[in-house]
Every structure is written in structure tokens, then in C-alpha cells.
Amino acid sequence: MFPLAKAQTIHHTLSVTLLPEQSHIIVVDQIQFPEGSAKNLSFKLRSSLSVEAKDAGLVMTGESAQGRLRHYRLNRLAQNSTVQVTYRGEIFSSQERQLFEMPESVLSREGVYLDGGSGWIPYFSHQSNITFDLTVKAPEGWEIISQGKRQTIDKSFRYEMPLPQDDIYLIGGLFKRYQKQFNDIEMEVYLLEDNQQLAENYLQATAQYLQFYSELIAPYPYAKFAVVENRWQTGYGMPSFTLLGSRVLRLPFILHSSLPHEILHNWWGNGVYIDFTQGNWSEGLTAYLSDHLIQEQRGKGRIYRRKALERYANFAAEEHDFALSEFRSRHNEASQAVGYSKSLMLFHMLRNLSGRETFKQNIKKLWQRYQFQKVNFPDVIRQLFTGNDLQYQLFVDQWLKKPGAPSLSLGETRITEDATGFHLQMTINQLQAGTPYVMHLPVDVELADRESLERRFITLTERQTLISLNFQQRPVSITVDPDYDVFRLLDGSEKPSSLGRLFGAKKQLLVLPTEVSQEQKKAWQQLAKQWSSRYNNIEIIDDINLSILPKDTAVWLLGWKNKALKTYQQRFTAAGQQVLGGEVQIHGQTLNASTHTAVLLDPDNSRTALAFIAAEQAQTIALLARKLPHYNSFGVLAFELPRVKNIIKSSLTPRVSPLKRNLSN
Ligand SMILES: [Zn+2]
């Protein structure tokens, strides 16, 4: 079925004993190499494990730079290309933390987490794929999770994985397990504490999305899908399961955002594998067909895309930008803005170029052609692109290989009338540096005496493109790219005031209150420290020292007792919001300091970005420090005390776009 993959596949038959009290693991690994393999083979293994080989010679040849891995060579491999390797030793949770603050390996009384990064199985330098048959003897009461379908034999767990993989995961602990069938796929939920309702919600949503994506792409490729709770706040998608943090798992919107996203990764990333050499295509495609598609089905596609463009403009444009072909994985706001937001816009443009129906067919073909093989970004685009070779090359060059985004402005417009009708002429300018982009985009034209808009499609090729459109009635207004269908740099006036605009600013100035308790002061300083390590652009100043608002700097006024508040209070007043003494009014609700906390922004996005955090208890401030970075696209927030539960989140509206023009006079 996968002739190419099969030829390079290494098969592991693993028998694992876990002794978590001692953080000790024993593995007997029967390795079957492809026929005709070399007689000498090199591999790497975690250096805390000692290793022996049966039926072959074994020598240690070196160590990795940090001493975490040891390098070995197997000599005189037997005729049948099989060897039995036994390795054992301790798995300490090292201090090395990955994304989400999770240690790279765990083996303790609480549970086990091992993956490729832990170096817990031999990694052969020439290997491209692995298949496996894993049997794990675990402590009483533990559940064990890996790829594939769970079988239990005499208190042991067995996972057989015949599909080519690039890693073997070993996860376990004291979980409560819930199970249901969806056709022949087993759906599971593993929770750290019993919660029937939560599990039921996940099983139902899982069934819904397995069905949805099986129809959209191809039948779900694995025998099970499991949702596994994690003590660290991860959002990882592995083949046939997802590892979601305890807090993440309990957020109600995750059922229709992260869950479908992680399920979809079983096709993109964990089904079709990523050849990273020219960028990671899987996050953009997955986000496009999950997060974006779900919002689009709810009639919110336009807003979702505008937020994606906002994210890019706030966090990546200018100094933090890089070509999408350089994206490997998300590690900060800028990499998310390129690797997810720009990337999903690339797929959106591909869909607009080919049309929805053709795009759908091509998505199915992408899977049929590349399942369980590695594919690079240009080849993914080729499969979804419908133009000629030259157009394809141009598309790849301008969207994938170079950083940046086109920045558009509407130039002169002119209407003439003759016997044949009305003729609208307009110029559209590309303001960015470098070669102009070739791009196709819609223009909505409002006509006199007609209620609905007429949509036309135009192509830009030059720094200044002159467009002529003919109508039977007089055009009264035009809007270029009204639905944010192309990837471009939003104009400042198209970006509403939002928390993201502050976080992504060149500099953030935090104005600390001086006449408050030591405890409160400390809490604000701690917030400043946390944000500083995240955004790297923080400065602080005491409220008594703030004379004017500096230029090119986003300013946060912290705390109810902030002395600068009096001066700038008016700036937070707009339709639906107001700061008054010790109270904040939002959409007709009055919130006071003893029961609520809130964040208000100056809604005028042409001025210095200015925000006020209405809080005073140290505990509240600590929670806000963690929570606010997750509300990038919002401009008005309110939370209920003491748990700081969000009750209001709304976006402010941008001023009129420079790509919209009234033609009536
Ligand atoms: Zn993802």
C-alpha cells in the first residue's frame, strides 16, 4: 500500500516495564530492519540508559554536545536484519522545558511521558519511518496510551501500529477512561479525575468531527482517537490522540476549536507528514480547514480573516517578519502570525483561485497522493493550485519564499458616462518596498438604484494598476477586498484598537501606581516581568513620572489608584464604555472594583495605543497577567471576581477602510 515508505521502514517490537517509584524503565526491543540493510548501523539513545545488544556487536562512538544522547554503532548485523537491544535506566525529568513549560520527559509516581525528544528508543540515522508493536507492563491502576488501538492482555497494554510513524509515544498514569464507538473507530477520553459530563461532551464532538473530516478528505486513518488530559497546559496533536492541558480541556470553546484542529492533524501532519525543508505547511492547512472553516460556517469567516491579518500586522510585520518557508513550529507571537495566520490566508487564496468545488477535490487528491509520506510546502501548493506553471512559480515565490505582505491603497477614481453606460476608472497602488505582487481580488461596487452590491474581480500586477470597470448604472461606492480575501498588510486605520496592538507594539510602557499597598505594587511588577519575558518590549514607569504619552509606544495604565488615570480618563469614553470614579460602565452594565475587573482601551486607533486595567487585588492581577495575552483581538474585557471569570469580551470597530470610497460626489 505504501511501497516507497515500506522499503525504509524499521519495525520495533517493544516490551516495556515501568518502575515509576524509581523513575526506572526497562525495554526489550526486537528491531527488524528493511531487507538488505547495511551490516553496520548507527543510532542515538538517551545517555541515562545503558544498552546491550544480542546477536550483534555494539560500540559507543560518541556523545551529543550536551551529553543528553549517546551515539552507538551496531556491527555484524545478522543475515535476517534483526537485532534484539535491551536498554534500561532512569528517566529524570530534566529542567529543560519545551513550549507550554512541559518537561521533555516524565517518569514518576504521577505518570509517564516519553516521545522522540526524550530519546527513549534508538533513533537510527538512516531511518525514515517506523512501525511498532508496543507492550507495556505498568503499575496497578495505570492506563497507558500510545498510537493505535488499545488492547489489554494480563494487566499489560498493547498498541500495534502498522502505519508508518516518525515517533513512538508512551504516555500513562492514573486516568479515568471513557470509551465509545464511532463506526469501527474507538473514541476515548482519559481524564485525571472522574467527570462523566465532560467526557461525554468530548465523545460527542469527536464523533461529529470524525464524520465531518472523513467526508471532507478521506476515512479517518487510525483505529482510535483519544483525548488525553495533561497536567501541563499543552495543546498537542499526536497520531490518533491529542494531549490537552487540564485548564484548556475545560474551556467550553475548545470542543469546537482545538478539538477539531487536533483531530484534523491526523490527516495533515500525522497522516501526510511534513518535509520541513521548505517550511511547515501543516499548521496553516489545518487551521484553515478547522478554525477558519468552523467560523466561516457560522458566518464569521470575514472577521476571522481580518483577525488573522491583524495578528500579522501587530506581531510579524516589519522587524519580526520572515518567509513562510522558514516556519518550523510556533514558539512566539511572530511565528504564529506567519506559520498559522499568513499560511491559512495562502490556502484561502488557493481556494479562491480554484473555486470551492475544485479545491475540495484537490484536498482529497492531496491525501490520496501523499498519505504516510513526507511532502514539502511547494508540492502541497502544486496539488491545490489550478493555474499554469508560470503562475504557480510566481505564487510560490511571492507568498511562500519571500517575507512581507502587499500594502494596498486606493488612488484616483473617475467616472465617465456615455451611450454605452458608466465607466469607472481607478488606480490601486502597492505601497510596500520590493517587487509588486500579482494578486487577484474582489471589489464590491454599490450602484445607484440598486439595493445589492455588485462584485467584480480585478488583477493587480504593477506598483500602480489602472482598473476599468463598466456598469449600466452609476457606481456610488466601491470597496476593495471587502471580505479580507487576500493576504495583505492592513492599514493602521483598518486595525481596530485591540490588546494585540499593544502587545505587538515596538515598546510597551507600563505605568505603575505609586500610592498603593506593597502587595499590589509587587503584583504589578510581577505582571511586568511575565510580559517582558513573553514580548521583550516592556518598560515601566511610576505614575508620578509620566508627563506625556511617548510616541511609538503603547501605554498601559495599571490599577484603579493610578494617578495618570485622571488625566486620560476621557480617552476611554466612547459609545458603550466609560470610566467613572471607581466604576467602569460597559454596554450599560456598571462594574465596580469590589466585584469586577476590566480592561478598557482608547477606541481611537489613530492615537497612541492606550489601555487601562481596572484591578487592585494582587491575586486578580496575577490572574490577569496570565490571561490577558490570550485576548489579543479584543478591545473591551470584563471579568467577575474572585475567580476572574470572563463575562464581556468584544472587539472595537476599525475606522473606515482606505480601500473604501464614496463616489457619489
Ligand atoms: Zn496545529
Q: 329 C-alpha to center of ligand 1: Å?
A: 9
CB atoms within 10 A of CB 250: 12
CB atoms within 10 A of CB 459: 10
Q: 612 C-alpha to center of ligand 1: Å?
A: 33
Task: Decide if 481 contacts 457 (C-beta within 8 A).
Answer: no
Question: Which residues, in sequence order, are CB contacts of 327 under 8 Å at separation 6+?
Answer: 279, 280, 283, 335, 338, 339, 343
Exposed / middle / buried, residue 536 (Cβ in 10 Å: 0-12, 13-18, 19+) = exposed
Question: Which residues, in sequence order, are CB contacts of 609 under 8 Å at separation 6+?
Answer: 497, 501, 502, 505, 554, 555, 601, 602
Binned at pLDDT 50, 70 and 90, residue 588 comes out as: confident
Binned at pLDDT 50, 70 and 90, residue 2 comes out as: very low
513: pLDDT strictly greater than 70 = yes
What is the distance between the alpha carbons of residues 399 and 324, in angstroms, rounded to a whole number? 8
170: its cell numbers? 508512551
Q: Which residues of 379-388 are buried (b: 16+ CB within 10 A; e: fewer)?
A: bbbbbbbeee
Exposed / middle / buried, residue 338 (Cβ in 10 Å: 0-12, 13-18, 19+) = buried
pLDDT tens for residues 455-497? 999 999 999 999 999 999 999 999 999 999 999 999 877 888 8
Q: 268 C-alpha to center of ligand 1: Å?
A: 9
Q: 256 C-alpha to center of ligand 1: Å?
A: 14
40: its cell numbers? 553496520
Q: Look up cell 471576581; give the residue.
A: 641
Q: 235 C-alpha to center of ligand 1: Å?
A: 8
The sheet that has 464-471: what strands, in order across it? 408-418, 421-430, 464-471
Binned at pLDDT 50, 70 and 90, residue 100 comes out as: low
Q: 282 C-alpha to center of ligand 1: Å?
A: 7
Average pLDDT on 516-530 reads 95
Per-residue pLDDT, 1:
39
Average pLDDT on 19-37 reads 93
What is the distance between the alpha carbons of residues 634 and 652, in angstroms, rounded to a whole number? 7
pLDDT tens for residues 330-376? 888 889 999 999 999 999 999 999 999 999 999 999 999 999 999 99
629: its cell numbers? 495575552
Average pLDDT on 139-161 reads 94
Query: Could you tell me which residues are beta bridge partners of residue 11?
Result: 32, 131
pTM of the predicted model, to two decimals?
0.86
In degrees, rounded to 5, the angle at the alpha carbon of residue 353 between the alpha carbons of residues 351 and 359 is 35
Q: What is the DSSP letter of 551?
A: T
Mean pLDDT (the chain, rounded): 92
* 464-471 vs 69-75, strand pairing mode: unpaired
Q: 331 C-alpha to center of ligand 1: Å?
A: 12
Question: Which residues, in sequence order, are CB contacts of 251 under 8 Å at separation 6+?
Answer: none
pLDDT tens for residues 621-637? 999 999 999 999 899 99
* 610-614 vs 111-114, strand pairing mode: unpaired
Q: 285 C-alpha to center of ligand 1: Å?
A: 9
Q: What is the DSSP letter of 40?
A: S
Q: 276 C-alpha to center of ligand 1: Å?
A: 15
Q: 287 C-alpha to center of ligand 1: Å?
A: 7
Q: 286 C-alpha to center of ligand 1: Å?
A: 6
Binned at pLDDT 50, 70 and 90, residue 69 comes out as: very high
Q: 524 C-alpha to center of ligand 1: Å?
A: 33
pLDDT tens for residues 391-448? 999 999 999 999 999 999 999 999 999 999 999 999 999 999 999 999 999 999 999 8
Q: 237 C-alpha to center of ligand 1: Å?
A: 7
Question: Which residues, in sequence order, are CB contacts of 528 under 8 Å at separation 6+?
Answer: 510, 512, 538, 540
Per-residue pLDDT, 88:
97
Q: 655 C-alpha to center of ligand 1: Å?
A: 33
Average pLDDT on 188-210 reads 98
What is the distance between the alpha carbons of residues 331 and 345, in angstroms, rounded to a whole number? 20
Q: Look up cell 505582487; give the residue.
A: 437
Q: 283 C-alpha to center of ligand 1: Å?
A: 5
What is the distance between the alpha carbons of residues 336 and 473, in angstroms, rounded to a whole number? 45
Per-residue pLDDT, 656:
67
Q: 335 C-alpha to center of ligand 1: Å?
A: 13
Of the listed ranges 85-89, 391-395, 399-403, 659-663, the one predicted with least confidence: 659-663
Per-residue pLDDT, 4:
45
Binned at pLDDT 50, 70 and 90, residue 7 comes out as: low
3: pLDDT strictly greater than 60 = no
